[in-house]
Structure 1
Amino acid sequence: MDPVIIVGAGPVGLTLALALARQEVPTVVLDEGPGKDEPRLARTLVLREDTAALLERLTGRPLAEAGVRWAGWRSMRRKQVMREITFDDARAAPLHIAQHVVTGALRSALAGERLAEVAVDSRLDTIEQEPSGVTAHTRGPRGTWWRGSYLVGCDGPRSTVRKLSDIRFPGRTAVERHAVAALRTELPRPGDALLHRMPPWRTSGPTAGEITARPLPDGVWRLDWLLPPGKDLVTPELLVTRIRETLAGWNDGTTPPYELLDTGVHTVHHRLARRWRSDRVLLAGDAAHLLGTLGTQGLDEGLRDADNLAWKLARVWHHGPNEALLDSYQAERRAAVAARLRAADQVLPLLRGGGGLRAYVPGAARGHDALLSDGHLGRGPLGEPGTYADSPLAARHLEAEVPVDTPVGAAVTDVRVTAEDGSFVQLRERLGRGALLVVLIAPGTGVWERKHWMTAGVMPRLAAAVTALPHPAELLVAEEYPGAAAHTVLLVRPDGHLVTALGGVRPADLYAAAEAALGGPVKEEAVAGAETTAGSGTV
């Protein structure tokens, strides 16, 4: 079968290529550039815990060493501290890292993949679809025709793939603008990120209503100033003045020494593609959506696109067409991004609308700062990752389904599990291999040798039920899981989202849930076969 063509060699396209290669799917990445990324410290990423773990799993590199996990977070309004958070093992900190470091790590990992090819200086100009595949033409030094099974556009806001597929991209332009500077200096409380609203010092030029400071390695900071509405130019002189005033304001009136390393203007748009799939052509990342106001991170969502799409494309590539499974990519991911866009659009007038009566409502300022902090920290309606509870892949009417602390469709909690070879690993380490995960909650098994617990209690019946599933699955055992009773069985998708939690070993329900998660209807004869193979009842 022909490879999957990925257009665009940014973090999303490279992540998708690596994720597919790890599932034995060949890819061709069409990179319109020279294959190198310009170091830009004013272009950085804030990654949530699970997306940072995804990149580390794919690259095999501890990216946290090349970035900074915040020690804490402060939100200030004028001179008052509104919110203060300290991160520890129980409260994971976001990872702040330069974008070129991430793309460099992804490129290095991809260079060692036998199933992946990166074609540099290859700019797409034509797409032709047929029932059996996709043909793409590129111009440039390597201008040629490429044949693929599917094509995924990860080629950014001005996506050629989206335009050639005649997919509309409605939304709003320039929702927010930020002046950005990366500088090496010393600030109070190194390691802590800061959101400062309405700073008390007098500023030159338009009022700096909001400043964000986020640390990077080697004493470097990225500072963002929210610009007022309009198209006023941010001149170098104005930016330097703003830097000096800000540093002096945070250092009791004295501007500390600093080295200006990079600058830029970051303009935020809000757009959502009408369709994310056109037969064998799909969209991901900025080609499918743009968001980023109020602390939200668009690239974080793009990485979730790649994680969601990779295992579905891999199953289709290996096992043949499955329209329901591919359609679920748009249904799940577009709904999740749309919910965050709606939340941002609803909150934006409240937070950016100025004074009025809202300014005098008791607690209003603190509530506004909490909303903004949630966007930056990946929490609440602005920042929390979406769940797939209403997914077309959700299992329905399972008699043995029981509640746990993770809602159905949400990403599972990363707990320690015992693999089938007896080794202890983190649950997250077993993701991304294309297999379903079946996790038995069995307190006390951690101190047993594998040869004992594999033949004890419910394990033989559960192992037989897992073998009978319609897709390869790995059986794992955890001593505990938040909100789960003993003998609870979790079914987890290859991208780490919970399909269902069952109260005991129920082969029929387990099979039905797996079948639904794979986009296929439940086949009664297959379910009956699973019952016969593994037995029935709850243990």
Structure 2
Amino acid sequence: MDPVIVVGAGPVGLALALALAAQGVPSVLLDEGGGEAKGDPRPARTVVLRADTAALAERLGCSTVRDEGLRWVGWRALRRKQELHRVEFHGEDLPAPVHIPQHALTRGLWNAVEASDLVQVAAHHRLDALEQDGSGITAHTRGPEATRWRGSFLVGCDGARSTVRKLLGIRFPGRTAVERHAVAALRTELPWPGEGVVHRLPPWRAVGDEVTARPLADGVWRLDWLLPGRGELVTPDALVSRVRDTLAGWCDGPPQYDLLDTGVHTLHHRLARRWRADRAFLTGDAAHLLGAVGTQGVDEGLRDADNLAWKLAHAWRHGASDLLLDSYQAERRTAVAARLRAADQSLPILRGTGGLRSCLPGASRGHGALLTDGHLGLGALGAPPSYPHSPLTPQHTESHAAVATPVGAPVADVAVTTPEGSTTGLRQRLGRARLLVVLVAPGTGVWDRRHWVTAGVMPQLASAVSELPTRAELLVAESYPGASAHTVLMVRPDGHLVAAFGGVRPAELYAAADAVRGGAPAASKAPSEHAAARPD
């Protein structure tokens, strides 16, 4: 079987190649650059990873998330001289985001790629043309060596100006320059160590209507100032003046600081019409651009990679139905579209164009909560997505049981025990090209494994799992939120709940597993007309 071709070696492309490798699938990574973490570090270009995507990056072997990222201890929303909203992070109940320079994240992913035997890096290769047929896809590149690459599938992770998207003739509509921010990275001391802050209408209004401070490791902060929509030029002197006025206002005097990097960041909102064209797919900035109101493009791109990798791994091993491959677009495009819609609906309210609603009592506090949701990955603006209406959701039956996690939502990271006796977190078993079947069995933590592995419902469940139409791993948990004893959970490789059952139900387990794989694999066929390189 030919490898998967991954076009683009940014964080999303690297993560996708690693996620495929974790599931035993080889890939070829086409990189226009030198095949390594490259470029001068830009401290002002940073990434906020929510808890789920930070855990994904660490699971893929990116040690810099842990070593060089900073987990925030809290968040504040201020208006003028008043604190409107404060959040403290509390472990699993409210996990902290991780703030990391993008070059550090990229370097950590590159280090993991270099350690993998299943990722072949093709440096200095620029994609030129694509050809699809019933058994694979061919990529033609310009570069020093091979100009023709044969793959089973191809994924465009090549950014906002995606060559893959253009070769497939997929439109990329949306809005340009939704917001503009002046950005600075500096080393200093602020009154809120380890906490992020968004300050609206600061008393020293010369710096603008909104400024955000987000801490990084080693005493570094990233500051963002919302710029007027008229697109005025931000000179170096004007930016330094903003830094001094802001720090003086926050610290009651001019503090010492070391300016590391500056820039102007323009945010666009765009969404590709299609994310799949037969054997070709789009992920990350090639498929969507977002970022206003604190939403995070890299965060969503990593979720794209996590969603797509297990589906490609299943297709690479067993073949796949169109339903399985189409579910990537159905799930991820719908989730990102909801993010964009929520941000677009929030912007008129937050930016003072919401009419009388913005003058109502409590409106300012509501604005602070909206911005908090966007920056922390909460609510419609950023919470980990659920896929309740996925085409892979099994039909509901009377045997289904209710637990605290809705169908399609990410599962809780409870402690689980494997049949071999090792104990770990549930999320550590994700991303291995197999379903997880979890039996909730109180007391197994104190019983000798020799007793419970052959007692009660375990033998029947183990037999049912061995008969599923796709690979699965059987795990045991002492408890799960909202679940009673002998509840059986089925979890997708990307951590979303398929279904929960009251007891061992072999027929229902089989039907659920069959639904998750999208039914029986489709026979190989010639490319359908939607794969042609044509405008939508």
Task: Please give the TM-score of this superposition, normalised by the length of structure 1.
Answer: 0.94
| Structure 1 pair 355–280 and aligned structure 2 pair: CA distance change class (3 A) | closer
SS at match of 2:77: strand
- State the aligned residue count: 518
- Please name the residue that 2:37 is paired with: 36
**Aligned match of 1:47:** 49
CA–CA distance in structure 1, aligned partners of residues 423 and 396 of structure 2:
34
Match of 1:92 among 86, 92, 95: 95
User: 1:429 is matched with which residue?
Assistant: 428
Q: Is the Cα–Cα contact under 8 Å of residues 442 and 478 in structure 1 kept in the other structure? A: yes
| C-alpha distance after superposition, 1:238-297 (max 9, x if no partner) | 100000000001011x11111111111111111110000111111000000111110111
Q: Which has the higher contact order (CA 8 A, sep 6+)?
A: 2
Q: 2:69 aligns with which of 67, 70, 91?
A: 67
What is the SS of the residue equivalent to 1:445? coil
Equivalent runs, 1:185-264 vs 2, <5 Å: 185-203=188-206, 208-252=208-252, 254-264=253-263
Instruction: Answer with 320-329 or 413-422: which moved more.
Output: 320-329
Give the aligned residue type for 2:101. Answer: A
For residues 373-415 of structure 1, the C-alpha deviation after alignment (integer angstroms, 9 at most, x for no partner) is 0011111111112211100000013221111111100110111
Q: Kindly provide the CA deviation profile for residues 464-518 of structure 1, in whole angstroms up to 9, marking residues without a partner as x.
A: 1111111111111111111111111100000100000111111111111110011
Q: Which residue of 1 aligns with 2:106?
A: 103
Match of 1:528 in 2: none
Ranges in structure 1 where 5+ consecutive residues have no aligned partner: 523-539
Q: Is the 8 A contact 2:349 2:358 kept in 1?
A: no
**Residue type at the aligned position of 2:325:** L
Call closer, same or farther: CA 1:357–1:134 in 2, change over 3 Å. Answer: same
Q: Quote the Cα distance in structure 1 between the aligned partners of 2:262 and 2:142.
A: 32
Tell me what 1:531 maps to.
none
Contact 1:37/1:103 (<8 A) preserved: no
How far, CA to CA, are the matches of 2:64 and 2:483 in structure 1?
A: 31
SS at match of 1:401: coil
Matched residues in 2 for 1:355 and 1:452: separation? 64
How much has 1:372 moved relative to structure 2?
1.0
Deviation at 1:60, TM superposition (A): 5.6
Residues 62 and 111 in structure 2, CA contact (< 8 A), matched pair in contact too: no
**1:355: how far off?**
7.2
Q: Is the 8 A contact 2:64 2:105 kept in 1?
A: no
CA drift of 1:521 comes to: 6.2
Instruction: Give the equivalent residue in structure 2 for 1:382.
Output: 381
- Shift, 1:202, TM fit: 3.5
Q: Deviations over 1:91-129 (max 9, x none)?
A: 210000011111111111111211111111111111111
Which residue of structure 2 aligns with residue 21 of structure 1?
21
Post-superposition CA distance 1:416-441 (Å, at most 9, x none): 11112111100000000011000011
Letter in 2 for 1:179: A
Q: Find the aligned partners of 1:13 and 1:299 in 2 and give their Cα distance.
A: 11
Q: Percent identity?
A: 68
Q: Is the 8 A contact 2:186 2:261 kept in 1?
A: yes
SS at 1:83's partner residue?
strand
1:136, 1:272 → 2: CA distance? 24
Distance in 1 (alpha carbons) for counterparts of 2:317 and 2:8? 24
Q: 1:355 to 1:255 in 2, by over 3 A?
A: farther
Q: Distance in 2 between matches of 1:371 and 1:455?
A: 51
Distance in 1, matches of 2:169 and 2:261, equals: 37
Whether the 8 Å CA contact 2:52–2:384 is kept in 1: the answer is no
Q: Distance in 1 between matches of 2:294 and 2:2?
A: 40
Q: Distance in 1 between matches of 2:358 and 2:2?
A: 60
Partner residue, 1:82:
84
2:158/2:285 contact within 8 Å kept: yes
Per the TM alignment, residue 354 of structure 1 is displaced from its structure 2 partner at its CA by 4.2
Deviation at 1:132, TM superposition (A): 1.6
Give the corresponding residue for 1:532: none
Deviates more, 1:268-277 or 1:84-93: 84-93
Q: Where in structure 2 are the equivalents of 1:35-434 lying within 5 Å?
A: 35-38=36-39, 39-59=41-61, 61=63, 63-89=65-91, 90-142=93-145, 144-203=147-206, 208-252=208-252, 254-354=253-353, 356-434=355-433
Residue of structure 2 in register with 1:526 after alignment:
none
Residue identity opposite 2:472 in structure 1: A
User: Is this contact kept in 1: 2:321–2:520, CA < 8 A?
Assistant: no
Consecutive unaligned residues in structure 2, runs of 5 or more: 522-536
Report the residue type matching 2:18 in the other structure.
L
- Distance in 2 (CA, whole Å) between partners of 1:485 and 1:268 is 47
Q: Secondary structure at the match of 1:166?
A: coil
In 2: Cα distance, 1:307 partner to 1:160 partner: 22
Q: CA, structure 1 residues 116+433, in 2 after alignment: closer, same or farther (shift >3 Å)? A: same
- Secondary structure of 2:159's counterpart equals coil
CA distance in 2, matches of 1:20, 1:506: 31
Deviations 1:160-181 (A, max 9, x none): 0000000000110110111110
- 2:71 is aligned with what amino acid? R
Distance across 1 between alignment mates of 2:259 and 2:339: 34
* Contact in 2 for aligned 1:248/1:256 (Cα 8 Å): yes
Q: State the secondary structure of the residue aligned to 1:51.
A: helix
Whichever residue aligns with residue 347 of structure 1, its letter is S
Residue 232 (structure 1) shift: 1.1
Task: Look up the SS of the partner of 1:399 in the other structure.
Answer: coil
Corresponding residue of 2:534: none
Query: In the alignment, which residue of structure 2 is the partner of 1:450?
Result: 449
Instruction: Name the SS for the 1:211 alignment partner.
Output: strand
Shift in alpha-carbon separation, 1:490–1:228, aligned structure 2, 3 A: same
**Matched residue type, 2:245:** E
Aligned residue type for 1:443? P
Moved more, 86-95 or 153-162: 86-95
| Separation (CA, whole Å) in 1 of partners of 2:88 and 2:261 | 29
Deviation at 1:143, TM superposition (A): 5.7
